Structure 1
Amino acid sequence: MVTSVQETPAATPQSGGNVDEFEVIVIGAGVTGLYSLYRLRNLGFSAMSFEEGDGVGGTWYWNRYPGARFDSESYTYGYSFSEELLQEWEWKEHYSAQPENERYLNYVADKFDLRPFIRFNSRVASLVYDEAANRWVATTDDGYQARAQFVMTAIGILSARYVPDFEGIESYEGVATHTNRWPKEGIDMVGKKVGIIGTGATAVQIIPEIAKEVSHLTVFQRTANYCVPLRNSVIDEETQEYIKSHYPEIFEQCMATPGSFMHMFDTRSALAVSEEEKLEQYERLWQEPGFKKWLSNFYDVMMPGEANEDYAEFVRNKIRERVHDPEVAELLVPKNHMFGSKRLPCESGYYEVYNQDNVRLVDVRKDPIACITPRGLQLEGGEDFDFDVLIFATGYDAVTGPLNLIHIEGIGGEVLKEKFANGPRTYMGMSSYNFPNLFTINAASVGNFPRSAEPLVEWVTDAIAHVRDSGNQRIMATHEAEAAWVQHMREGGENILRTQADSWFVGANIPGKARVLLTAPDTAPAMRAKRADVAANNYEGFTLD
């Protein structure tokens, strides 16, 4: 619970009346926000970050629920910009848990003295462009205002939590929380009756943890997912030494792959090898940790078609093997989307939970939730449930959702939320016509987040420095470049796996949201090359004036 607002730290602002002025405002102090602040300070800009929480960390500050951890290798997730940092920090596990991840980001903030340039407990409520002054005016919930020539929205792609508008939700008298707002002090669930709504990536992490201590757990599932074993382990001393001496190779390998993970697809087709060889690879990868089952497999496993369905059935059978009750197993087997069309949840004992006598799975696609009651919830079929604790693992309004929580008003009073009503309209995900000097970097990164975000932050901060050093005042996507990019997003996304399921990738999890691809259809190397070409050609597709 936020109880106070931190005083504005000194960051060499220029005061204009009661409004502090900076050259750049960064919204957010998570992975992207911290690096943005570091880069801007090193480039000589006066910059201030506005952070809603009372500490740094972003995703790893807010998501404190039991079981929260990386699904990409820890040593691929940390920053690469400082060799000293790489050698000082030692990841304890191959897939690090939330407490260590938050400690890491605090360590970074302190090591590079970033904390004095962050205003905590400060949610930006509005950003309004002052055309005459060429300044953005940011107003926080507490009424504080600041102005800046440039703004970077480092607010994440999965930070706007979503809870369905259940009838009676305000009447519930027990403990209720969305997983994204898990209280710092935790929730005592020992011996309690607990209900959890949702079985996505977050739920898959939390359910095995809380099932160990509750008296009874009821899981309400609408859509089953393909979940694979994480197989986490402690990093031993020998492996630690290897990691520290091979960071350049590790990062080089990440940067060569489509999603910036350290796994490369097998260039062979699953349909071109013998049945024996194919199954041998399936089984071998199944025993490996993390995303190898997904991203080191035959390349056509990640393409719509026969190979994808073949591997999907392999995974379905693995689920069936682990769940004792055949009826429950079939409920947990995904049948309405292709393998890999949603981000793959990694789990540790998730399916075995459903073999416990104190755990029940309820299919709310068959019998939907009718309402939340003072004591729990009721299904449309009439069944009532009483809970001491009710957990909403109901996901996020992705990419545009965090932007829409801020009233952003550009040239001529154009409102970004209204402009994005039928899907984002940007150039390369980061700049929108009529919104000069505003970089929506949260909408331009996907994959292994830090590996994609670092080069993106470097490109944006270099662009801001170019505007300054070239004697210009503004940079903004042209109407033509924006229109061409929107068409590229539509055409490029038509046949990729990410658009084939109803997921946050296309906004289909939010009622009334336009169903369009929200992130670029291109690979990470292709996006880096695109941005490099744009910069090399005097920021082609942008106007500078």
Structure 2
Amino acid sequence: MSQTAPSDRTGPAPVSSTATASAAELDCDVVIIGAGISGMYQLHRLRGLGLKVVVLEAGTGVGGTWYWNRYPGARFDSESYSYAYSFDQELLDAWDWSEHFAAQPETLRYLNFVADKLDLRRDIRFSARVASAQYDDDTRSWAVTLESGDRYRARFMVTAIGPLSSPTMPRIPGIEEFTGEYFHTGLWPKEPVSFEGKRVAVIGTGATGVQTIQEVAKTAKTLTVFQRRPNWCAPLHNARITAEEQPALKARYPEIFQRCRETFACFLHTPDPRSALEVSDEEREAFWEQRYSEPGFGIWQGNFRDVMIDRTANRMLSDFVAKKIRQRVSDPAVADLLIPKDHGFGTRRVPLETKYYEVYNQPNVRLVDALSTPIERITPTGLETGEEAFEFDMIIYATGFDAITGSFDRIDFRGEGGQSLKERWAGGPKTFLGVMVEGFPNMFMLVGPHTALGNIPRSIEYNVDWVTGLMAHMRDKDITYAATTARAVADWTETVRQAGEGLLSNEVDSWMTGVNRNAGKTERILARYSGSAVAYRERCDAVARAGYREIKLA
């Protein structure tokens, strides 16, 4: 399984890896790490300030998440038209989404279309995986070093590396011994992969596992799913967008993006103001039937206001969805295995599915409970549990990502005085607005820990615009140093803590609470901002309106 992109020397040239930079000898104004949705937009905005920018991308093309995650069934769980860039009307008018929830190939085509329209590639170096980044106290600059040894020096560094971009393999003995085909969903090859007539194993039933299982089951000779912890899933209800629907949809773009600005998590859905406990049994059941039958995240993001904070309300919702699973799965024992017992509906991110549960009614599909009978080792021809030996032609690892901080841990970030970011965050991340870290001047994070997540591109655009505004202020004032303070970080960390109080999701082990056993992370941390995106933007806007006085500028 290849995980390394081929060599590609296109893009801007580096300075010599042995160069010693002074402030006047910088290679560029800004280095951006990553050419996904956030890195592409940040490049576009900084060009508009007249800054010289270099983007370093590990892959051979743009797209980030949608470049790497080519696994079968990968697609949006946000509506396509709420996910697109909103900043350019010409881009909006020129692109037609074919489905309400676009598949990965279409999304990657869209991002390449944007890169072409904005001529972004001339400032991107591909096959450029960053190994380390060191802040130079004397020159107020960053030296960003690639695995190749090449080095770029810049006044500012922007991380556009994403919260879910560090795939993790399970800690199972013998992984390297398997002689068949094997893949991780987050490192899927560009070449087509056929399941036709093959004995396939899928390990993991998170979001990527659910989407993959639906597709593999269509053609595999046999599909064996190894599930440790089931997830609550809800129907996607996807549909094509017809040519007749396109004009009306495009006319609604201002309304769509305004709606995203107003909702709690930037989705088209927002919580119902009623309590699940204040309506009659009949009203509650009818409401949930309606939500379950609608496209998208309505059942999660548009539910009664108290289902994510009140245990009784959440248990009632979980019972409703459990009933749906039992109705859809023929074998009661299999249905029971697919119903989570360790967390309530919506307290972990909800995978959206298309006939996922019906897959387990197929004679070629088997579900194995890897919690009661754990996988003990991978063998050259398959794998073994404590009770049975299996033979496979292919193993697919849908084992997720070292989320939130994992993408930062892969790079050796060193701030003032050579301090390590990984060590600073050993007990969990601490940030100012999710954008800055104490002791790491001139470093800005896009969609970093403690920013508003939700519908990611909407959060990305806001983060990029805020960082661009700060850089414009610094350019206009001839400022070369921006650092957050211990007080600002402590205040924001406390805001993040308070925003998560009472949320049932923060009582559950998941990537949203920083737990990933494959990455050796077993303790929950304050991994994310759980408040509303509206409140997050108000706080960030207040910092800008006050002339960035909360940031140390020099």
TM-score (norm 1): 0.97
**Cα offset, 1:18, TM superposition:** 8.6
Tell me which residue corresponds to 2:440.
Answer: 435
Quick check: 2:265–2:532 contact (8 Å CA) kept in 1? yes
Quick check: 1:422–1:514 contact (8 Å CA) kept in 2? no
Quick check: 1:265–1:297 contact (8 Å CA) kept in 2? yes
CA distance in 2, matches of 1:518, 1:507: 6
1:9 counterpart = 2:12: yes
Tell me which residue corresponds to 1:539.
Answer: 548
- SS of residue matched to 1:516: coil
Quick check: 2:158–2:446 contact (8 Å CA) kept in 1? yes
Change (3 A) 1:429 1:271: same
Tell me which residue corresponds to 2:74.
Answer: 68
Quick check: 2:166–2:407 contact (8 Å CA) kept in 1? yes
Q: For residues 351-377 of structure 1, give each alpha carbon's deviation from its aligned partner in whole angstroms, at most 9, with x where no partner exists.
A: 001001111101111111111111111
CA distance in 2, matches of 1:343, 1:526: 21
Of residues 436-445 and 198-207 in structure 1, the stretch that sits farther from structure 2 once superposed is 436-445
Q: For residues 369-419 of structure 1, give each alpha carbon's deviation from its aligned partner in whole angstroms, at most 9, with x where no partner exists.
A: 11111111111x241111111011001111110011000001011000111
Change (3 A) 1:455 1:483: same
Q: Which runs of 4+ in 1 moved over 6 A?
A: 13-16
Tell me which residue corresponds to 1:124.
Answer: 130
CA distance in 1, matches of 2:319, 2:145: 52
Q: For residues 12-55 of structure 1, give each alpha carbon's deviation from its aligned partner in whole angstroms, at most 9, with x where no partner exists.
A: x9999498611011111111110000000011110011000000
CA distance in 1, matches of 2:283, 2:468: 48
Quick check: 1:169–1:372 contact (8 Å CA) kept in 2? yes
**Cα offset, 1:237, TM superposition:** 2.6
Tell me which residue corresponds to 1:528.
Answer: 537
CA distance in 1, matches of 2:443, 2:407: 15
Tell me which residue corresponds to 1:500.
Answer: 507
**Cα offset, 1:226, TM superposition:** 0.8
Tell me which residue corresponds to 1:415.
Answer: 420
Quick check: 2:431–2:437 contact (8 Å CA) kept in 1? yes
Quick check: 1:191–1:213 contact (8 Å CA) kept in 2? yes
**Cα offset, 1:10, TM superposition:** 7.0
Amino acid at match of 1:398: A
Quick check: 1:22–1:148 contact (8 Å CA) kept in 2? yes
Aligned match for 1:241, one of 243, 247, 251:
247
**Cα offset, 1:156, TM superposition:** 0.6
Tell me which residue corresponds to 2:410.
Answer: 405
Q: For residues 172-191 of structure 1, give each alpha carbon's deviation from its aligned partner in whole angstroms, at most 9, with x where no partner exists.
A: 11111110111101222110
**Cα offset, 1:445, TM superposition:** 4.2
Tell me which residue corresponds to 2:395.
Answer: 390
- SS of residue matched to 1:357: coil
Change (3 A) 1:375 1:279: same
- SS of residue matched to 2:552: strand
Tell me which residue corresponds to 2:476.
Answer: 469
CA distance in 1, matches of 2:522, 2:551: 29
Quick check: 1:338–1:501 contact (8 Å CA) kept in 2? no
Tell me which residue corresponds to 1:198.
Answer: 204
Tell me which residue corresponds to 1:220.
Answer: 226
Q: What stretches of structure 1 of length at least 5 have no aligned partner?
A: none
Tell me which residue corresponds to 1:350.
Answer: 356
1:298 counterpart = 2:304: yes
Percent identical pairs in the alignment equals: 49
Amino acid at match of 1:409: R
Change (3 A) 1:98 1:247: same
Tell me which residue corresponds to 1:333.
Answer: 339
- SS of residue matched to 2:131: strand
**Cα offset, 1:269, TM superposition:** 1.3
CA RMSD in angstroms, aligned pairs only: 1.7
Q: For residues 447-493 of structure 1, give each alpha carbon's deviation from its aligned partner in whole angstroms, at most 9, with x where no partner exists.
A: 10111110111001111121121121111110111122223333432
Quick check: 1:14–1:21 contact (8 Å CA) kept in 2? no
**Cα offset, 1:294, TM superposition:** 1.6
Amino acid at match of 2:481: R
CA distance in 2, matches of 1:270, 1:3: 54
CA distance in 1, matches of 2:17, 2:425: 33
CA distance in 2, matches of 1:476, 1:18: 23
TM-score (norm 2): 0.95
- SS of residue matched to 1:391: strand
- SS of residue matched to 2:32: strand
Amino acid at match of 1:525: V
Tell me which residue corresponds to 1:35.
Answer: 41
Change (3 A) 1:84 1:14: farther
CA distance in 1, matches of 2:302, 2:59: 37
Amino acid at match of 1:366: S
**Cα offset, 1:513, TM superposition:** 4.9
Aligned match for 1:450, one of 454, 457, 475:
457
Aligned match for 1:516, one of 525, 529, 533:
525
- SS of residue matched to 1:212: helix
- SS of residue matched to 2:400: coil
- SS of residue matched to 1:522: coil
Quick check: 1:27–1:152 contact (8 Å CA) kept in 2? yes
CA distance in 2, matches of 1:456, 1:314: 37
Q: What stretches of structure 2 of length at least 5 have no aligned partner?
A: none
Quick check: 1:14–1:22 contact (8 Å CA) kept in 2? no
Amino acid at match of 2:540: R
Amino acid at match of 2:342: N
CA distance in 2, matches of 1:463, 1:497: 36
Quick check: 1:490–1:516 contact (8 Å CA) kept in 2? no
Tell me which residue corresponds to 2:328.
Answer: 322
Quick check: 1:423–1:514 contact (8 Å CA) kept in 2? no
CA distance in 1, matches of 2:282, 2:521: 47
- SS of residue matched to 1:280: helix
- SS of residue matched to 1:442: coil
1:77 counterpart = 2:83: yes
CA distance in 2, matches of 1:269, 1:197: 38
Quick check: 2:29–2:52 contact (8 Å CA) kept in 1? yes
CA distance in 1, matches of 2:550, 2:504: 29
Amino acid at match of 1:472: I
Quick check: 1:431–1:440 contact (8 Å CA) kept in 2? yes
Change (3 A) 1:497 1:457: farther
Aligned match for 1:367, one of 345, 362, 373:
373
CA distance in 2, matches of 1:297, 1:432: 35
Tell me which residue corresponds to 1:151.
Answer: 157
Of residues 288-297 and 415-424 in structure 1, the stretch that sits farther from structure 2 once superposed is 288-297
CA distance in 2, matches of 1:145, 1:303: 48
Q: For residues 403-449 of structure 1, give each alpha carbon's deviation from its aligned partner in whole angstroms, at most 9, with x where no partner exists.
A: 11000001011000111111001111111111001012231341101
CA distance in 1, matches of 2:549, 2:204: 44
